[in-house]
Structure 1
Amino acid sequence: MNAQMAKTFYKHDKFLSSDKLEGRFPGTKGNNEAAAYIQKYFKKYGLKEFNNSYYQPFRLFVKEGINKMKSDSVSTQNVLGFVEGSDPKLKNEYIVIGAHYDHWGWGGQGSGSKKKDAFAIHNGADDNASGVAALLCILEEISKQKEKPKRSIIFISFSGEEEGLLGSKYFVNHLPVPKEAIKVMLNMDMVGRLNDKKELYMGGAGTFPKGVELMQKLKEKSGLNPVIHAGDVGGSDHVSFYKESISAVGFHTGGHSQYHTPDDDINLINSDGGALVSKYIYNALTQIANYEDALFFIKQN
């Protein structure tokens, strides 16, 4: 299974981080093409729509100089859908799994690029085409399950993360289900560069009951060395959920010198590692969606 999943992971990452999409900056054609690509697979793998659409549009403000743009408000969208749970009662509870698909486009002054003078496409192969690749690999595996997990699962790919978690903030403020129905959020941001020590880092594992124990148990036969933090929630889209008192875990494979530069390209992606990470998070997602214990929020320092 891993060899096939590694190929799939690579295929998704390669498309999303290609020059054709010009760094997926919100409000651009490339960002919209990335959203359309994600939507295509959401549909293919049988996700149900909320409000007759996989899109949740929102607007964000862009500073002048970023991505060759004049100061302006632009339209972008989160892409989302859900798998209905198999348990008559528990299907009214939701687990969210997400990854942002936007990046810095061509960079430029005012952007988060580490090389503001290098006006070049920031492909973001690790940040965060890798997280979306994992999301789509996990969804494909869920789609193959004869019996779906007990709780319902929302799959979401956010836009506007780089500008300050804007897509996830918009989502938590415009939820398609009651807030108390969302029990746990799993987020993947930069999961494409698994190192030689096979370290998958996570923060927030202690935000739901027995979360740390679960993540430790999943280490067995995973081929990974998870570095598990009960707290240390971190700085990506899962923080938007944590701030609303929703249990949230963020996964990543670590930082590198190509972060937020034009050099974060597909040739540096470890797709075999991406498959191992996807499988681990798939197992976590499935177990949490089938949790015997009641799920509730546990605040961490």
Structure 2
Amino acid sequence: MKTYIFIFSILLTAISFKLTAQEIEINRLKKHIYYLADDKMKGRATGSKELAKSANYIENQFKKHKLVPLGTKGFRQDFTAKVRRVTVPDSIRPAENIIGFLDNDAPYTIVVGAHYDHLGYGNFGGTREPAHIGQIHNGADDNASGVAGLLELVRYYSTNKIKEKFNILFIAFSAEELGLIGSKYWTENPTMPLDKIHWMLNMDMIGRYNPDSGLAVIGYGTSSKFPAIFENITSDIKFNKSKDGNGGSDQTSFYKKNIPVLFFHTGGHDDYHKATDDADKIDYKALKSILELEIKVIDNSMLQDKMDFIWTN
């Protein structure tokens, strides 16, 4: 009997370890955000060597979890972006989308995206505080929080020992702050057929949850399947569904290509586009809850047939 109890105990421990390994962990989220939003990254401006370091960090995470490269040069998709808000000597800047594919041998693919660039020193437009021009804009919420979410979903779906009925394409977009340029470039030069996309999930500024206003889930009206997907989904955070597919982030580029979208966003705050958007201000517990909600939405979407598209404007 003792032998059976011992073996059963080992099995329970193994199962417990497997489940724990898949959980979204606050410490990992902190690690990603504190790295990307450190002063050493100098605000991750498009074209900067610091943004190149961020790209390397993201690519290494993709490699670690054995994603398939789906850029035009390995995981990278090169393009150029132009600064338009103000006149600067280096207005034309090199940029890269980082693209990794979780191949489940499925006919259709879910796209999960987040932009990884920010405003640098705030001297090429975009800062909301003129007195902060020349100071590092760390962009912890905008959008190290979304990239941390992206990387955690990479880890979760690549290690869950389940072969899902859909593939997942993970894209870290560059040059979003210059006008959604990275996502526009990808949708104009896709590295997989657009008609094979089930839907697109975008994370931009998901780190400053306000319990009074809740989480915004934008794009609910872009497919007739979303009501069924959200049926019976609960969360320990408040979330509000909005129909429109347009908005000031990268899901708009997909929406304009007749692809259903959801944009997860915790809203504006006093540090938005200022030099004070720092890692210690992120609500990591709520960020974890947001990602757990997204996993429920993604999993439920895999129970649906190919998503239809509805134009909401």
- The two structures have a TM-score, normalised by structure 1, of 0.91
Q: Contact 2:114–2:202 (CA<8 Å) still a contact in 1?
A: yes
Shift in alpha-carbon separation, 1:245–1:22, aligned structure 2, 3 A: same
Q: 1:191 aligns with which of 184, 202, 206?
A: 206
Q: 1:92 aligns with which of 107, 111, 115?
A: 107
Q: Contact 1:198–1:223 (CA<8 Å) still a contact in 2?
A: no
Larger Rg, first or second structure (1 or 2): 2
Shift in alpha-carbon separation, 1:198–1:9, aligned structure 2, 3 A: farther
SS at match of 1:298: coil
Q: Give 1:52 deviation, angstroms.
A: 5.6
Q: Contact 1:212–1:230 (CA<8 Å) still a contact in 2?
A: no
Provide the residue aligned with 1:206 in structure 2: 221
Deviates more, 1:165-174 or 1:5-14: 5-14
**Runs ≥4 residues deviating over 4 A:** 1-4, 63-66
Q: Contact 1:245–1:297 (CA<8 Å) still a contact in 2?
A: yes
Provide the residue aligned with 2:57 in structure 1: 37
Provide the residue aligned with 1:257 in structure 2: 270
Provide the residue aligned with 1:115 in structure 2: 129
Output one character per residue of 1:194-221: Cα deviation in whole Å (capped at 9) or x when no partner. 1234821111012123203423532x2x
Matches of 1:216 and 1:192 in 2, distance apart? Answer: 25
SS at match of 1:281: helix
Deviates more, 1:291-300 or 1:112-121: 291-300
Output one character per residue of 1:200-250: Cα deviation in whole Å (capped at 9) or x when no partner. 1111012123203423532x2x21211011225321000000011111111
Provide the residue aligned with 1:135 in structure 2: 150
SS at match of 2:240: strand
Output one character per residue of 1:7-32: Cα deviation in whole Å (capped at 9) or x when no partner. 11111011000011100001101110
Residue 57 of structure 1 pairs with residue 82 of structure 2 = no
Summarize the alignment of residues 212-291 of structure 1 with structure 2, pairs less than 5 Å apart: 212-218=227-233, 220=234, 222-231=235-244, 233-288=246-301, 290-291=302-303
Q: Which amino acid aligns with 1:42?
A: F
Provide the residue aligned with 2:38 in structure 1: 18
Matches of 1:3 and 1:14 in 2, distance apart? Answer: 20
Shift in alpha-carbon separation, 1:148–1:70, aligned structure 2, 3 A: same
Structure 1 gap ranges (5+): none
Shift in alpha-carbon separation, 1:292–1:3, aligned structure 2, 3 A: closer
Provide the residue aligned with 1:157 in structure 2: 172
Output one character per residue of 1:148-182: Cα deviation in whole Å (capped at 9) or x when no partner. 21111100010000111000000001101112111
Residue 175 of structure 1 pairs with residue 196 of structure 2 = no
Output one character per residue of 1:232-276: Cα deviation in whole Å (capped at 9) or x when no partner. 532100000001111111111111010000000011101111111
Deviates more, 1:165-174 or 1:198-207: 198-207
Shift in alpha-carbon separation, 1:212–1:230, aligned structure 2, 3 A: farther
Q: 1:73 aligns with which of 92, 110, 127?
A: 92
Q: Which amino acid aligns with 1:184?
A: W
Q: 1:166 aligns with which of 176, 181, 198?
A: 181
Q: Give 1:64 deviation, angstroms.
A: 8.7
Structure 2 gap ranges (5+): 1-19
Q: What do you get for the CA RMSD once the two structures are aligned?
A: 1.9
Provide the residue aligned with 2:304 in structure 1: 292
Matches of 2:300 and 2:228 in 1, distance apart? Answer: 12
Q: How many residues align?
A: 291
Deviates more, 1:161-170 or 1:272-281: 272-281
SS at match of 1:167: helix
Q: Which amino acid aligns with 1:265?
A: D
Q: Give 1:299 deviation, angstroms.
A: 1.4
Shift in alpha-carbon separation, 1:198–1:214, aligned structure 2, 3 A: farther
Q: Contact 1:212–1:228 (CA<8 Å) still a contact in 2?
A: no
